[in-house]
Amino acid sequence: MGGTDTVRPYTGNRDLATGARPGTVRFMDYILFFNPGARNLGIYANRPVRGGQSRSVHATGRALDIGADRPQLAQIIEGIYRHRDLFHVEELHDYIGAWIPTEGFGAGYRCDRDTGGLFSGWRIYTKNTIGRGGSWTHVELAPDMANSAERVDQAFTELFSVIEESNESTSNPDPDPDSGRLPVKKPSPRVRNRTTGKSGKT
């Protein structure tokens, strides 16, 4: 469920919105549900990028910032990147080198650089390009996924099915919920929407 030979286009900030999109909110719900202690640092924010004049992708309602301590952040980034095509992830940032060792300026994934394979689509920065941030990750979803909570549900359902089949074939128990890996059981339908929180800095 990782990258493929087909390079997906990057949308950027071409589709400005007036609030968080339903699929983005649902995606955040899943990430926080499966990663206790992680925090919603913001989804929608109508503002320019830090240090520039163009609008942030947060102004499209398709970007989300997830905060966590360094070990958990590494697991979250690795999990989202591993399933980037399934979730239609367009951009992903590792500001502090939690998952990818960097030279102090972080690293960023973009779908239009991804030709498939391990670490494909990533760029390690040698100057302050994406902003030298703290312990969080910035994620951008493609419009089709961000626009539909049902599409996000379908993606996670597909992932659960693969995990269930893998566990049945190996007779392994459910993953430790504190490990950052997705558990087999589906979340409660009462997962709360978390559309508020401190705005991110991306």
DSSP string, 56-98: PGGGGT-EEEEE--HHHHHHHHHHHHHTHHHHTEEEEEETT-S
202 to each of 31, 109, 116, 139, how far by Cα in Å? 19, 14, 26, 10
The predicted structure's pLDDT at residue 171: 57
CA distance 98 to 118: 17
The predicted structure's pLDDT at residue 174: 54
The predicted structure's pLDDT at residue 201: 41
The predicted structure's pLDDT at residue 153: 98
Q: Are 158 and 150 contacting, i.e. CB atoms less than 8 angstroms apart? A: no
What HEC string does 143-179 produce?
Answer: HHHHCCHHHHHHHHHHHHHHHHHHHHHHCCCCCCCCC
The predicted structure's pLDDT at residue 188: 41
pTM over 0.85: no
**Residues lower than pLDDT 50 in the chain:** 3, 177-180, 183-202
For residue 26, give the H/E element and its range.
helix 22-34
- Taking alpha carbons only, the member of 183, 171, 139, 173 closest to residue 35 is 183
First to last CA, the chain: 27
CA distance 101 to 49: 25
CA distance 102 to 2: 22
CA dihedral 193→201→87→118, nearest 10 degrees, is -150
